[in-house]
């Protein structure tokens, strides 16, 4: 009797690095594992090419993200490659992005063969068809697979009826896939047993994937339960970028699935090789190694996703406020309740934590208010932002601020790229350079990036020995190298 196959969406390079390494996906690191990822048998491989990643790569890693996109396209020609994509080029500036800019960004990635699946979060933008009518038809015209997430959250708003209604809304967009996304790792087995049938029942036969995080220590058990309930596609990661606040390990999930008589098409040797390379990267760059976490009830109180916590620690350290993380998290709990319980997922979770950090740093609540909270008070982000339940006094305060009169509350009209280039350097500007300047809001960070050394190379899948010898030949302190093999030895002298 043929065993049923379980499919795997690999999150290592995107969600794994965002959750555990503050989105530190270096070009050389991706290059070192891309060929094996391409051939490993994953249903989908997430890649770190969102505009958010572009900012991180340019500003913090001092690398060119277009080079990374090129490497992804060249070294992963066969894999279905996904990233989190939305109508706004930058989630924090949803309404300010003209459709022409969003389309150009996608075009440049598609031309390089860097993406062919777009994952969107239905709890963020409301009705994509009416609010951003260009988005889905554009993706369809480019042959993109579309995966809509129904995102889990806990609040007085997020009832069983809410998830039934949200799934029905998603179905109207006719996505290829619906995935139940538990970004903060808050689901329990009992809750999954209650909600997953509701989502399946209302999905109208659209395939269901499941995505959770290991934040509370329950993820592996949740995956086993999801398998029992008929889910046949799970989001997993490869150690050292599994566990912790990231996704369950693909090795553990495969082992558990075996006892449910579920088979796989994963090349275990390849992913073991990937794991070994990434472990070398982690140790060389002093990056954390994901490990199983103990049950942490505080997660159910603050509900801040692991990736947001990871980046919060990174940002507070840069501000010399690293000892105040707990204060910021506590403040974000208060803010969420006051704002009407937005779902704690990108971008809302970032909004909550950013405002909380400002409140803590200034010592006065809402002395400075970020633009996005003003827009939320005005209903820009649809009912899923919670604005219908927002504290009325706070809403009135936000909307009476002088800044409230200056903000956009409707998507900007489309503007030709040629006209936009005039603001960033002129008509001879390449599309790639224009996009970098648009995302980075100028040239300063780009110039600093170009002053830096070329991206650091790690071992690639195809030429590890050649790269090792090249590196060793550049070390003046090494005079000779001896390589011992089964058939003899080779001695190389560095003259």
Average pLDDT value for residue range 246-252: 97
383 pLDDT higher than 60 = yes
Average pLDDT value for residue range 199-204: 97
460 pLDDT higher than 80 = no
Please provide the distance, in angstroms rounded to a whole number, between the alpha carbons at the two ends of the chain.
Answer: 63
Give the per-residue pLDDT at 461: 47
Give me the residue label for tokens 């505080």: 298
Closest CA to 25 of 52, 5, 1: 52
Average pLDDT value for residue range 351-372: 92
Give me the residue label for tokens 């959770």: 212
Identify the bridge partners of residue 151 per DSSP, sorted by sequence position. 181
Its pTM stands at 0.87
362 pLDDT higher than 50 = yes
Find how far residue 188's CA is from the centre of its chain: 23
User: HSE on the CB side for 287, CA within 13 Å?
Assistant: 25
Residue 288 has a CB neighbour count (10 Å cut-off) of 14
Backbone torsions φ then ψ of 147, nearest 5 degrees: -120, 120
Average pLDDT value for residue range 462-491: 61
400 pLDDT higher than 70 = yes
Assigned token pair, 181? 């996304």
More confident position, 405 or 381:
405
392 pLDDT higher than 70 = yes
Average pLDDT value for residue range 134-155: 94
The model's pLDDT over 109-126, given as tens digits with 9 standing for 90+, comes to 999 999 999 998 866 655
Alpha-carbon torsion 440, 444, 445, 451, what sign?
positive
Q: Which domains are assigned to the chain?
A: 4-284 (3.20.20.70), 299-405 (1.10.472.90), 464-493 (no CATH)
> Please, what is the Cα angle at 456 between 451 and 457, to 5 degrees?
145
Give the per-residue pLDDT at 347: 79
Give the per-residue pLDDT at 429: 96
Give the per-residue pLDDT at 467: 54
Mean of per-residue pLDDT scores for the chain: 89
Assigned token pair, 86? 């939305």
Average pLDDT value for residue range 359-366: 93
More confident position, 331 or 348:
331
The model's pLDDT over 414-435, given as tens digits with 9 standing for 90+, comes to 999 999 999 999 999 999 999 9
The model's pLDDT over 275-299, given as tens digits with 9 standing for 90+, comes to 999 999 999 999 999 999 888 888 8
Give the per-residue pLDDT at 471: 58
Give the per-residue pLDDT at 435: 96
Share of the chain above pLDDT 70, in %: 88
Average pLDDT value for residue range 305-312: 71
The model's pLDDT over 432-450, given as tens digits with 9 standing for 90+, comes to 999 999 999 999 999 999 9
Between 223-227, 248-252, 289-293, the lowest mean confidence (pLDDT) is in 289-293
């Amino acid at each position: 009797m043929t065993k049923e196959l379980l499919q795997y969406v690999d999150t290592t390079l995107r969600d794994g690095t965002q959750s555990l390494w503050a989105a530190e996906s270096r070009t050389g690191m991706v290059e070192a594992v891309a060929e094996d990822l391409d051939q490993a048998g994953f249903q989908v491989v997430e890649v770190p090419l969102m505009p958010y990643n572009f900012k991180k790569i340019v500003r913090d890693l001092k690398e060119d993200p277009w080079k990374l996109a090129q490497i992804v396209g060249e070294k992963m020609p066969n894999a279905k490659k996904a990233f989190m994509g939305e109508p706004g080029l930058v989630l924090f500036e949803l309404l300010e992005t003209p459709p022409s800019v969003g389309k150009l960004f996608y075009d440049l990635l598609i031309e390089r063969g860097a993406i062919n699946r777009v994952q969107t979060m239905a709890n963020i933008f409301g009705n994509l068809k009416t609010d951003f009518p260009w988005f889905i038809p554009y993706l369809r015209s480019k042959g993109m697979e579309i995966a809509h997430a129904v995102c889990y959250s806990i609040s007085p708003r997020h009832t069983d009826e809410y998830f039934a209604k949200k799934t029905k809304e998603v179905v109207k967009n006719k996505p290829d896939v619906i995935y139940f996304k538990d970004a903060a790792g808050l689901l329990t087995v009992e809750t999954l047993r209650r909600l997953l049938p509701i989502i399946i029942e209302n999905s109208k036969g659209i395939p269901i994937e499941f995505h959770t995080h290991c934040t509370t220590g329950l993820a592996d058990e949740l995956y086993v339960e999801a398998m029992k309930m008929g889910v046949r596609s799970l989001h997993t990661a490869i150690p050292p970028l599994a566990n912790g606040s990231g996704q369950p390990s693909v090795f553990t999930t495969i082992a558990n699935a075996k006892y449910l008589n579920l088979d796989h098409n994963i090349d275990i040797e390849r992913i073991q090789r990937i794991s070994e390379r990434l472990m070398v990267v982690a140790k060389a760059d002093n990056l954390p190694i994901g490990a199983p976490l103990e049950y942490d009830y505080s997660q159910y109180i603050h509900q801040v996703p692991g990736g947001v916590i990871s980046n919060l620690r990174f940002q507070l350290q840069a501000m010399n406020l690293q000892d105040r993380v707990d204060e910021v998290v506590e403040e974000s709990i208060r803010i969420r309740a006051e704002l009407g319980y937005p779902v704690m997922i990108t971008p809302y979770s970032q909004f909550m934590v950013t405002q909380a950090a400002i409140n803590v740093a200034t010592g006065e609540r809402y002395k400075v208010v970020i633009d996005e909270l003003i827009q939320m008070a005005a209903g820009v982000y649809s009912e899923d932002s919670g604005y219908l339940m927002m504290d009325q006094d706070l809403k009135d305060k936000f909307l009476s601020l002088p800044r409230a009169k200056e903000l956009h509350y409707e998507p900007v009209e489309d503007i030709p790229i040629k006209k936009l280039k005039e603001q960033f350097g002129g008509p001879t500007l390449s599309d790639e350079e224009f996009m970098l300047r648009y995302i980075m809001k100028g040239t300063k960070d780009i110039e600093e990036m170009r002053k830096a050394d070329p991206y650091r190379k790690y071992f690639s899948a195809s030429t590890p020995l050649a790269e090792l010898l090249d590196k060793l030949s550049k070390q003046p302190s090494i005079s000779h190298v001896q390589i011992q093999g089964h058939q003899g030895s080779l001695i190389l002298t560095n003259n």
